[in-house]
Amino acid sequence: MTADAAGRRSVVVFDYGFGNVRSAERALVRAGADVEITRDYERAMSADGLLVPGVGAFAACVEGLRAARGDWVVGRRLAGGRPVLGICVGMQILFTRGVEHGQEADGLDEWPGTVGPLTADAGHAVPHMGWNTVRAPEDSRLFAGLPADARYYFVHSYAAHDWELETVNPRMNAPRVSWTTHAEPFVAAVENGPLWATQFHPEKSGDAGAQLLRNWVDTL
């Protein structure tokens, strides 16, 4: 699977049982991609881009992804510099571990750090369900062309509250990390070489989400 004659990029939505695959498919088609929903290894490896969705519990998503050998697919693609996009829990499981109800589960360890529960207070309920703005770096490619007051749809109870990856090689570009706040700051999106991810759901974020996915597809 490669770009077709019209220049449309191919994207596989990895179907491992833990994501809104049809919503992601429709949004990616709108963004200009040729999209296939599959867990076939060869198709997932050969596509221009791979999207890893995720809903539900961290531990269950990791277990489901590993059962479908999705962790192997992600690792192989990244080793070859092939783009991967994680969404919601599909972003969370890229970190070293997740803590839910006091229980730890190992993630894919692509990024150091722990995903933990959001804070609730008088003005902020958990789960966090609703629209938030995002503070993106000025040189972000993912948020290129999007206004600072654009809003994105979040639905989650856990997040990465810290960014722990340090870039020590001056020849390597530092990751672009975007933030938002719900009672306290947490990571909203990451652009790290071929591995990008969002805590929010771009496929449910209207025109802003469509532009963001178009930005990703355009980089493939």
**Res 169: pLDDT:** 61
- Could you tell me if residue 4 is inside a domain? no
pLDDT of residue 4: 55
User: Would residue 84 count as lying in a domain?
Assistant: yes
Contacts of 14 (CB under 8 A, 6+ apart): 38, 39, 44, 50, 51, 52, 53, 65, 68, 70, 73
- 182 catalytic per annotation: no
Specify if 1 maps to a domain. Answer: no
Residue 3 belongs to some domain of the structure = no
At 101 the pLDDT is: 87
Number of domains in the chain: 1
What's the predicted TM-score (pTM) here? 0.94
Active-site residue (options: 25, 110, 191, 203): 203
Active site residue 156: no
CATH of the domain at 41: 3.40.50.880
Q: Is residue 2 part of a domain?
A: no
Distance CA(189)–CA(134), nearest Å, equals 9
Q: Say which of 128, 156, 182, 201 is annotated catalytic.
A: 201
pLDDT in tens, the chain (220 residues): 455 546 799 999 999 999 889 999 999 999 999 999 999 999 999 999 999 999 999 999 999 999 999 999 999 999 999 999 999 999 999 999 999 988 999 999 999 999 999 998 988 999 999 999 999 999 999 999 999 999 999 999 999 999 999 876 666 678 999 999 999 999 999 999 999 999 999 999 999 999 999 999 999 9
Evaluate whether residue 180 is within a structural domain. Answer: yes
What amino acid occupies position 10?
S
- Among 61, 88, 110, 128, the active-site one is 88
Q: Which domain holds residue 110?
A: 9-218
| Residue 56 is assigned to a structural domain of this protein | yes
Which value, in Å, is the radius of gyration of the alpha carbons in the chain? 16
The b-or-e profile of 45-72 (16+ CB within 10 A means b, else e) is: bebbbbbbbbbebbbbbbebbeebebbe
